[in-house]
Amino acid sequence: MVSFDCSVFATVRWVSRLKEMVSNFDTNSTLTNFTVVLSLVFCADISCVFAQAGVVGFQDQMLQIVPENTSASLPNIEPIIGKNGGFEGTAARIVYGQSKGAVRFSFRPRTQRNLVISTGMNTVEYPENSWFRQRLHESVQLVSGPVDKGSVVPMFGALYTVAMIEDDKRGGHGVSMKLQRLPHKEYRGEVRLDPYAYAITNGGWIDIPSTLVQPEILVAFDGRERCFLTIRGEHTGISQGKGRWTTHNTTQKVLAIVNKLIIVRLGQASVLFRVVSIVYPDEKARLTGWIEVRRVWPSLVPFGSTVNSKK
């Protein structure tokens, strides 16, 4: 079911832009060109509708997160999140630092279970849900910042409040959690979530899969209406003077700005993210504060083709 507000806003924007285009329409232009432009405008404006439709199957009314297994003597609990079983995650109390005693949870898509590769026929079976398919391909693990009962956090393109935290009765510092989805009418005015972005809460981070290192993007608000990103990666190249390949870790701290591009180095390659939105912490509204970053994929040009070529 598509979010009502999202679909209405998209329709209003599309209709207003359609009227503007019709009023400025050049009768000498071909109908084909006009149709193409109109299609692009329509697709751009209702993208939030289709994105929300793709993620809605994972926006359960109540999400349950099982305790992290913090002792080898404890039996494992299958850490499945959501009725679709597409994600796995656990929660535990923080035992060190300033946030000691608070709770941190993490989750990631179950890629090995849901992305089936048939090597014999050289085929790959993808889930039909485009939003879930993207999550499987990117395979990013999201680790939350410190939360407590009543905290409001973003998950799966929706807002959830921490309704229950219960210590693991088996021992250790793992906890079980229940997160209650908030109705859209209770969102604070400026909160607009992008389902395809990763919402990293204050004090949390995302782990990006890599064969060399475990690259991360960490988020921290400084209490002065500023948000900083700490980007950890690894760079591989030929060292000056030695003439051989060397690898060294890289750490960069940057100020988060909406639409800013973030470069995470993975050896000789790089991964790009774009800052979509920033929501600052609000103690009164119990918002933890977060930043949304969205993976930027390159536009591939077929071999033998040229970019912006003129006929």
pLDDT in tens, 169-214: 877 889 999 999 999 888 877 788 998 999 999 999 999 887 666 7
Higher pLDDT, 138 or 50: 138
- DSSP code per residue over 97-159: STTTTSEEEEEEE-HHHHSEEETTTTEEE--S-HHHHHHHHH--EEE---B-TT-EEEETTEE
Nearest to 162 by CA among 142, 175, 146, 180: 180
pLDDT at 206: 93
For the whole prediction, is pTM greater than 0.95? no
- Of residues 133, 135, 154, 130, the one with CA closest to residue 53: 130
Which of the pair, 188 or 43, is modelled with greater confidence? Answer: 188
Is the pLDDT assigned to residue 279 strictly greater than 70? yes
> Does the pLDDT at position 35 exceed 50?
no
Would you tell me how many other CB atoms lie within 10 Å of the CB of residue 173?
Answer: 17
DSSP for 188-229? -TT----TTSEEEETT-EEEPP-SS---EEEEEE-SSS-EEE
| 176, 66 Cβ separation under 8 angstroms | yes
- Closest by CA to 66, choosing from 164, 151, 152, is 164
Q: Which among 175, 199, 165 has a CA at the least distance from the CA of 287?
A: 199
* Buried/exposed 252-267: b ≥16 CB within 10 Å, e otherwise: eeeebeeeeebebbbb
Burial class (CB in 10 A: 0-12, 13-18, 19+), 132: buried
Whether the per-residue pLDDT at 90 is higher than 50: the answer is yes
Total Cβ atoms within 10 A of residue 204: 26
Task: Give pLDDT tens digits for 146-171.
Answer: 999 999 999 988 999 999 999 988 77
Instruction: Break the chain into its structural domains and give their ranges.
Output: 4-45, 59-186, 197-311
- Output the pLDDT for position 73: 59
Strand 175-181, strand 141-143: pairing: unpaired
**Is 125:136 a contact under the CB 8 Å cutoff?**
no
The residue with greater pLDDT, 9 or 105, is 105
Beta bridge partners of 159: 154
Among candidates 189, 7, 174, which has minimal Cα distance to 77? Answer: 174
Question: Which amino acid type is present at position 306?
Answer: T
pLDDT at 83: 65
Distance of alpha carbon 168 from alpha carbon 166, whole angstroms? 6
pLDDT of residue 213: 66
